[in-house]
């Protein structure tokens, strides 16, 4: 049962495979703004992209022990039959995300890049239905991927009351959980651990990409952050917490952060977002440094913010690190950031290190520190 356009297995083949699989794990992939692509370049261009993507997806799936399918129009699926292992599955999902981002096609002299949403189901029953629900949430919230759970099911009901109850329950029940991923030096000595916020539910672990924005919209953001902070206070070893600069401009949140972490061996990793350009950030950073809190700028892809702000660390955007082996521009940008930071005595961190090769390439360029799945998968256990 082969799809007539792309020549990869069709949805009927997927349905049969789901029935036969012992431990099925299903990922649905929907190409973003595909109708706009057809309108801009023609239906012929759209068919070309679908066929090229299908061929690349099938090759990728075989390398990773999966099977690829075309579900409908611009929707594809990957199926892996394996027992549940969070670390392996998270790494696989990020690999799929990277694979999609690296796809580029040329049609009639036009460069066409694609993006996608993913809906993931790790349950044993009704996988296709549940993965579609997760995909719908990913599309609505414009997230790269969402994993099906009761959390997702509640969101689909679009009931403010139900959503608020769910978030409130997550806070009150202690489901807001810190995960940790270490940052190391070139000799693999641990420098500190970054704290990653999760909601641990009985049937899933929810990424902040889904629930933090919703928590803001529903008025549970401060309570959610406070619940995380309370679980970090007793950790005395070097650690970091991700913070939007917007948080620092909120007096209640600012008090929670500073009261909890002053003089506590803590780094604030400030997100590189629109709030970082607010002139108030200069004073906030000065105040934080007086409280013995170190500052790291996260997700940096140019030298501009390294010049204007007095910080201790710079984390270079993962997209640049992933491209080091194929893109001279990425190498040049990283070299420029490293050179500027060395002049200012700022430590540079290469993120998204997912192989020994990328670790060695980043070391050769002169990065001080390193982080990624190759070094450590996120874990709920803090290793000192």
The CATH fold assigned to 11-148 is Alpha-Beta Plaits (3.30.70)
Cβ neighbours of residue 110 under 8 Å, at least 6 residues apart? 41, 45
Chain segment 331-352, per-residue pLDDT in tens = 999 999 999 999 999 999 999 8
Question: pTM value?
Answer: 0.72
Token pair listed for 356? 């020994």
Phi, psi torsion values for 333, nearest 5 degrees: -65, -45
Helices (H), the chain: 11-20, 34-41, 43-63, 86-101, 127-141, 150-156, 160-172, 208-218, 221-232, 245-248, 251-261, 280-290, 304-308, 318-322, 328-343, 356-365
Give the Cα separation of 173 and 171 in Å (integer).
6
What is the pLDDT at residue 180? 93
What is the pLDDT at residue 109? 82
What is the pLDDT at residue 159? 66
Low-confidence ranges of the chain (pLDDT < 50): none
Out of 3.40.50.300, 3.30.565.10, 3.20.20.450, 3.40.1350.10, select the CATH number for domain 158-370: 3.20.20.450
What is the pLDDT at residue 286? 93
User: What residue segments make up the domains of the chain, in order of their start?
Assistant: 11-148, 158-370
What is the pLDDT at residue 305? 63
What is the pLDDT at residue 202? 61
């Amino acid at each position: 049962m082969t799809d007539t356009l792309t020549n990869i297995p069709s949805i009927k083949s997927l349905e049969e495979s789901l029935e036969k699989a012992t431990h099925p794990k299903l990922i649905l992939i929907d190409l973003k703004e595909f109708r706009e692509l057809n309108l801009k370049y023609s239906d012929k261009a759209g068919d070309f992209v679908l066929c090229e993507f299908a061929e690349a997806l099938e090759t990728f799936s075989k390398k990773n022990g999966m099977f690829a399918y075309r579900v409908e129009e611009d929707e594809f699926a990957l199926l892996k039959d394996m027992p549940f292992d969070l670390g392996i599955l998270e790494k696989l999902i990020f690999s799929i995300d990277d694979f999609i981002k690296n796809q580029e096609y040329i049609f009639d002299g036009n460069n066409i890049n694609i993006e996608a949403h993913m809906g993931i189901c790790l349950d044993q029953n009704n996988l296709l239905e549940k993965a579609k629900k997760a995909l719908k949430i990913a599309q609505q919230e414009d997230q790269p991927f969402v994993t099906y759970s009761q959390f997702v099911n509640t969101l689909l009901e679009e009931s403010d009351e139900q959503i608020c109850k769910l978030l409130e329950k997550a806070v009150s029940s202690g489901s807001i959980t810190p995960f940790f991923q270490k940052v190391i030096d070139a000799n693999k000595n641990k420098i500190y651990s970054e704290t990653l916020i999760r909601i641990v539910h009985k049937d899933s672990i929810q990424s902040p990409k889904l629930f933090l924005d919703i928590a803001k919209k529903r008025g549970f953001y401060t309570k959610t952050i406070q619940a995380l902070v309370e679980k970090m206070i007793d950790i005395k070893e070097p650690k970091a917490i991700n913070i939007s600069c917007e948080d620092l401009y909120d007096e209640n949140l600012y008090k929670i952060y500073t009261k909890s972490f002053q003089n506590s061996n803590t780094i604030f990793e400030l997100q590189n977002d629109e709030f970082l350009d607010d002139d108030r950030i200069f004073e906030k950073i000065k105040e934080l440094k007086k409280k013995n809190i170190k500052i790291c700028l996260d997700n940096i892809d140019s030298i501009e913010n390294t010049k204007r702000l007095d910080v201790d660390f710079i984390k270079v955007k993962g997209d640049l690190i992933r491209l080091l082996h194929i893109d001279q521009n990425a190498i040049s940008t990283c070299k420029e950031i490293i050179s500027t930071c060395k002049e200012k005595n700022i430590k540079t961190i290469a993120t998204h290190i997912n192989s020994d090769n990328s670790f060695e390439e980043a070391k050769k360029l002169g990065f001080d520190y390193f982080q990624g799945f190759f070094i450590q998968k996120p874990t709920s256990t803090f290793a000192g």
